[in-house]
Structure 1
């Protein structure tokens, strides 16, 4: 028996092949893909990029939220601790006009170690400056360039200055100086030690001072003790004034250039001041120059340069003496004050000379206090220049 024929136009069963032998893909997405003109890999790339962009935006939003939370927490903490910080800072503010206080509340100016001895044979007082500690810094940098000035009163005028120690509040001096004092004058003599902060172009700042009567010190024996420094007293003004000088040395050419810049603090009664320069070698006057005179001023401005030929082999054996001369009440030129620079000098003049040699070919300017002429001549022990006798008629 045969199978009855299917009616015409009846749909084919699902899963059977249509005319042409092709099979249709199931679902709407394949139909949509087949209906577009773009290739399939382009659509896949766009989908992946869209997904990456969405994830990145989500991560950025999360990071911003976390940063806002972190910023809010430190701000709250700073606002809370601000009042306590202000109160603690106000409670620990140092006093402006007072120094460091000791146990009793008195300001401390530092301590000085020195030795004293009186030699009855030579009738001299030997002062050995050892060191100073706990000095007060007067400048804004919290440090100082201290040096010490030692003198006896009476007699006043002669003083010894130590080397400058840069950038310290505990200088180690280790220097000895001698002062002639007769035995009968010893009970009335007072030792004065001033510790000052060195300033090259301005007045030196006092850091502390010690006054010690020698009559009560018991000098027959060598004493080495620590002494408390007191407040700095008024620096005694030198009646002779000050002189500003610039030094420059060129070793290759053996050329020493001295520039006399200006003077200040001279007596108003002096007329026509000028500066005389003398270069001594072997304790004998060697070369001499002088500036032009300035009229009607106690602070003359010179700015005159002088050049001396000094070989390197002799630069350590020469002495440069600068003297301010002027006409006084007796209407004749007399030396007002002197300053000696060189390897045999001491204090600030020696430091200036050392700075000149350490910085060759570079001008070094500095102010110097004028000393009494007799004191400088005695310290250098200069002998007069040998002069040949003039032939007779």
Structure 2
């Protein structure tokens, strides 16, 4: 062995250690990390690797499940038929007909024809399953095509979709006109201050019915038709009766739906006592409008003992382009009236000293005159209150 300072001798241990430490220093020995820190780093690295492995496994499973429905598409239709019943796929025709009838509702009525008087009696029994959003105030209107001016309206039934009418009306139809006659029954939703809503209608040709016997059948209602186009307008009026003083106050408010070609219109208010004309009044003329606004009040002395014998007739008259006065339509109110006109009169008597306003459809003047059956006018002394 040579000396430490001998250049030709072998290197000593200290010199080798210094050389190695100078060329490749140990980071662990340089940083002097404690042992517990190394353990924490190792555990964190193992946990990270474990999480990556779990995520890879879940991704593989998801891809495997997403491919399974593709295999189900290859299943034949035989297994599907084994768990599916025929009546759920294609219902019978008999099962479909009641559902179609319930779309607009059903109406039960009876028909009876009297050959001696040539009168056909129409019994409006009841309706059910009406199509509406919630309950309605329903009433029925019946007419025959051979008598366009003759109509019958039932009472208004409140808050129901299955009204019970139980009313009978008659129409004069000669036997020769039966094959061409058609019975029209309309069901309407009564609205006091707006246009009545048509819920459904029934058009029944009388020539196809066996009128030798009394018929009472259920009929499906159809969608609303164009029968409302026959209306000639509406009139709004208010009624107030004071039993103590015997004062009947009639306020003509406004009209709507009149023909715009009419130069001017006015309203005649007439009282009929015992089927004879008694007293009358007239509003001022409104020109150049199809919806005139009057707001004029008239007071009549009607004792309480005669209020059931009085008929109130409101007639709308118009002057045409040639200044010729013609009747547009009439509204008949009173105890002998029917439908909503009778209901308005009953509401007035049920709420004394309170004005009750309501819209009414104008009816042709000949129809009202025929229903009133007015007798020749006689000089009657006006009753004193």
TM over 0.5: yes
Shift in Å, 1:112: 1.1
- Counterparts of 1:202 and 1:344 in 2: how far apart (Å)? 25
**Which residue matches 1:203?**
195
User: CA separation of 1:233/1:240 partners in 2, compared to 1, >3 Å: closer, same or farther?
Assistant: closer
Shift in Å, 1:155: 3.8
Shift in Å, 1:235: 4.2
- Counterparts of 2:224 and 2:230 in 1: how far apart (Å)? 17
| Residue 316 (structure 1) aligned with residue 308 (structure 2) | yes
- Counterparts of 1:305 and 1:176 in 2: how far apart (Å)? 36
**Which residue matches 1:251?**
243
**Which residue matches 1:156?**
148
**Which residue matches 1:130?**
125
Shift in Å, 1:239: 4.6
Figure out how many residues of one structure are paired with residues of the other and give that number.
284
**Which residue matches 1:80?**
none
- Counterparts of 1:230 and 1:332 in 2: how far apart (Å)? 41
CA RMSD of aligned residues (A): 1.7
**Which residue matches 2:374?**
382
| Residue 115 (structure 1) aligned with residue 110 (structure 2) | yes
**Which residue matches 2:208?**
216
- Counterparts of 1:356 and 1:175 in 2: how far apart (Å)? 23
Q: How does 1:30-49 map to 2 (within 5 A)?
A: none
Shift in Å, 1:237: 2.5
Contact 1:339–1:370 under 8 Å retained in 2: yes
SS at match of 1:236: helix
**Structure ranking higher in helix proportion:** 2
Shift in Å, 1:329: 4.8
Contact 2:317–2:326 under 8 Å retained in 1: yes
- Counterparts of 2:291 and 2:321 in 1: how far apart (Å)? 18
Shift in Å, 1:387: 5.8
TM-score of the superposed pair, with normalisation by structure 2 = 0.71
- Counterparts of 1:380 and 1:175 in 2: how far apart (Å)? 20
Q: How does 1:183-194 map to 2 (within 5 A)?
A: 183-194=175-186
SS at match of 2:345: helix
TM-score of the superposed pair, with normalisation by structure 1 = 0.70
Shift in Å, 1:129: 0.5
| Residue 353 (structure 1) aligned with residue 345 (structure 2) | yes
Contact 2:155–2:343 under 8 Å retained in 1: yes
What stretches of structure 1 of length at least 5 have no aligned partner?
Answer: 1-101, 389-393
| Residue 225 (structure 1) aligned with residue 217 (structure 2) | yes
What stretches of structure 2 of length at least 5 have no aligned partner?
Answer: 1-93, 381-385
- Counterparts of 2:379 and 2:345 in 1: how far apart (Å)? 30
SS at match of 2:378: coil
- Counterparts of 2:317 and 2:355 in 1: how far apart (Å)? 25
Shift in Å, 1:288: 0.6
